[in-house]
Amino acid sequence: MVRIKIKAEALDIRFAQVRALKAVNIEVMRNEILSVIGPANSGKTTFLRALNRMNDLNPDFKMAGNIFIDGEDIYGGMNVNLLRKRVGMIFALPMPLPMSISDNISYGPRMHGIRDKKRLADIVEESLRSAYLWDEVKDRLYLSALKLSGGQQQRLCIARTLAIEPEVVLFDEPCSGLDPISTAKVEEAIFKLKERYTIVLVTNNVKQAARVGERTAFFLNGELIELGGTEKIFTAPKDMRTEDYIRGKFG
Amino acid sequence: MRAQAKQRIAFTVLFIINLLVIVPVALLVIFIAVKGWRAVNWQFLFAFPSNGMRAGGIFPAIVGTFYLVAGSLVVTLPLGVLAAIYLYEYAGNSRLSRIINLAIINLAGVPSVVYGLFGLSLFVITLKMGVSIIAGALTLAIMNIPLVITASREALSSVPHSFREVSYSLGVSKWQTIRHAVLPYALPGILTGAILAVARAAGETAPILFTVAAFYLPQLPKSIFDQAMALPYHLYIISTQIPNISESIRYGTALVLVALVLSMNLFAVVIRSRFRKKKKW
């Protein structure tokens, strides 16, 4: 089995006049957690949203270069809905839909044509278990998801993404609005997920990258400055700018 | 202290202005009710006019108005909502959508009597529908389309963009996203547009003047190609064309018209608040 899951080649992205990514080459390995760090406007979220083509929703979006998943060019005639089914995404703020916990989880599978009630119930349970939320909500599956706490909502969103059985899960600063305890729970969920999924975690919390990621990429002003094992990046970075950022000199 | 005094003055002024808004509405309803309630009874509601409209009831006018409102809604709601979906979710900021927006704004500004003449020439004469319920309902429908489109578009834009993003991120297609993650939450706002459309369709006189309204009919319309009586037109006739008619019949008719519109509004408001409760975020 090939180790490379995602490969971006000379990825160059513009939004109108702004160049958000500059000739980025990067590979994501199968079943790894790749942390992406960098200050605001460094292009890390743009990179993430390129992987499931969420950037396409912005009418000013222009792209050059290629992105391959399992060797398939995602911009080369691949159905965008099928791509997003394979590459799920968790947003910075928890975004439960205003429906019940159960309906939130089953939304994706239902939209993809699964009607069988029993099977949907199984998917809901399994997904909630994978996101470490099942025990907290199993008695109130039909309660509005908006009644949950922020951390629970974010794990609900993780479960909702897992319910469509993706291969890759993208996290876009998933803990930016959460307290430390909720953050710890979400991180634990992410960490366990790598057994089954390939994970890209964008974070503006350097310590989180150090805790969770196996490899870490540092973005600055749309360029990939450095990519390597998390240990190495945090103890002996090659680039001065990486070191400055990690030490908190800017950002 | 001075800031507090200022604040008190400002609040008082705002309160009085709000009273000024409520007072005319309350006065209008009370005025009509006081002058008209004596005329309203079962016979008035369910009998035909008699003695040259000076006695009897207004049943055919009520039925006619009901047909017209229902007929115009059947056309205007789907058309308006679908147009709004296209404009807001699909068209983007293209040249075409700007032209359509301009058309909607202009359509909203056309006086209702012009719609009446337009309906006469297009539906009644050119399309050979004759003076009929369908011609009147279509005229009212066209009059209400800008209203429904504008309200629906507002409703769509009030649904948080994040709902769409979440749905897309799960690989759900655009149409399914609109159908399942946007429309259910836009429904209360769309219903608000429908309420306004109902009130306007029931109350306008000019658009139905040449397209459907009959002075007097001895029987109820049998098909959508028949003429019909309608409350606003009936009110206009008995107020201006019939001498020696008792005041209470005129105000009774007005009372029924107002009550009909208000109760339809109330019905829609109840449905809307039900939806809101279920689909809150």
Whether the per-residue pLDDT at B276 is higher than 80: the answer is no
- Residue A109 is predicted with a pLDDT of 96
B140 assigned to some structural domain: yes
On the question of pLDDT at B281 being above 80, the answer is: no
Low-confidence ranges of chain A (pLDDT < 70): 1-2, 250-251
Instruction: Provide the pLDDT for residue A43.
Output: 93
Asked whether residue B15 is domain-assigned, the answer is no
pLDDT of residue B280: 64
Give chain A positions within 8 Å (CB) of B166: 91, 95, 97, 157, 160
The string of pLDDT tens digits covering residues B125-145 is 999 999 999 999 999 999 999
Query: Looking at residue A28, what is its pLDDT?
Result: 95
Determine, yes or no, domain membership for B20: no
Q: What is the pLDDT of residues B254-267, one digit of tens each?
A: 999 999 888 888 88
For residue B213, tell me if it sits in a domain: yes
Q: Are B172 and A108 a contacting pair at CB < 8 A? A: yes
Residue B36 falls inside a structural domain? no
**Contact criterion met (CB < 8 Å) for A88 and B170:** yes
Structural tokens at position A76: 């080369």
Put simply, the answer to whether B170 touches A164 (Cβ < 8 Å) is: yes
Read off the pLDDT of each residue in B45-62 and give the average, rounded to a whole number. 87
Which pLDDT score, from 0 to 100, does residue B192 have? 85
From the number of C-beta atoms within 10 Å of its C-beta (0-12, 13-18, 19+), residue B56 rates as middle
Would you call A91 and B162 a contact, using CB atoms and an 8 Å cutoff? yes
Q: Which residues numbered 211-250 in B keep a CB inside 8 Å of some CB on A?
A: none
Residue with tokens 């398939």: A72
Quote the crossing angle between the two packed helices B133-158 and B183-203, to the nearest 10°.
140
- Secondary structure in 3-state letters for A32-45: CEEEEECCCCCCHH
Give mean pLDDT, residues B270-280: 76
The residue type found at A91 is F
Contact residues on chain B for A98, CB-CB shorter than 8 A = 185, 279-281
Q: What is the reported pLDDT for B91?
A: 85
Q: To probe the interface with A, which of B89, B93, B170, B280 has the most A CB atoms within 10 Å? A: B170
Cβ distance of B165 and A54 shorter than 8 Å: yes
Residue A10 CB coordination number (10 Å): 12
**pLDDT digit string, tens, across residues B220-249:** 888 889 999 999 999 999 988 888 888 888
Beta-strand relationship, A223-229 and B55-56: unpaired
CA dihedral A227, A8, A25, B166 (to 10 degrees): -60
Alpha carbons within 13 A on the beta-carbon side of A33: 24
Residue B30 touches chain A, beta carbons under 8 Å: no
Q: Do B162 and A95 touch (CB under 8 A)?
A: yes
Global pTM value: 0.85
Q: B24 touching A, CB under 8 A? A: no
Could you report the predicted ipTM of this complex, rounded to two decimals?
0.92
Give B173's contacts (C-beta < 8 A, 6+ positions apart).
Answer: A81, A111
Which chain B residues are within 8 Å of A95, Cβ to Cβ?
A: 162-163, 165-166
Contact A149, A161 (CB under 8 A): no
How do beta strands B55-56 and A198-202 pair?
unpaired
Cα–Cα distance between B228 and B155 in angstroms, integer?
34
Closest-CA distance, A124 to chain B, in angstroms, reads 15
- What is the predicted pLDDT for the residue at B278? 67
Give the distance from CA A46 to its chain's centroid.
Answer: 12
Is there a domain that residue B139 lies in? yes
Q: What letter represents residue A41's amino acid?
A: N
In a domain, B19, yes or no: no
Q: Taking residues B174-201, what's their average pLDDT?
A: 91
| Option in B165, B170, B172 nearest A161 (CB) | B170
d(CA A230, CA A246): 12
Which domains does chain A possess? Answer: 4-246 (3.40.50.300)
Model confidence at B277: pLDDT above 90: no
* Range of the structural domain that residue B222 is part of: 42-278
Q: Which of chain B's residues have a Cβ under 8 Å away from the Cβ of A49?
A: none
Considering only CB atoms, which chain A residues are within 8 Å of B279? 98
In chain B, the number of structural domains is 1
Report CA-CA distances (Å) from B110 to A179, B105, B148: 56, 9, 15
Q: Say whether A98 and B280 touch across the interface (CB within 8 A).
A: yes
Q: What is the pLDDT of residue B121?
A: 95
Say yes or no: A58 contacts chain B, CB-CB below 8 A: no
Rounded to the nearest angstrom, the minimum Cα separation between B173 and chain A is 6
pLDDT at residue number B279: 65
What local confidence, expressed as pLDDT, does residue A251 receive? 56
User: Does residue B116 form part of some domain?
Assistant: yes
- pLDDT attached to residue B173: 95
Confidence of residue B183 (pLDDT cuts 50, 70, 90): very high
Q: Which pLDDT value is given to residue B261?
A: 86
Segment (H or E) for B12: helix B2-36
From the list A60, A68, A142, the residue with the least C-alpha distance to A99 is: A142
**Chain A residue whose CA is closest to B185:** A98
What percentage of chain B reaches a pLDDT higher than 90?
61
The residue of chain A with its CA nearest to that of B277 is A98
Residue B235: CATH number of its domain: 1.10.3720.10
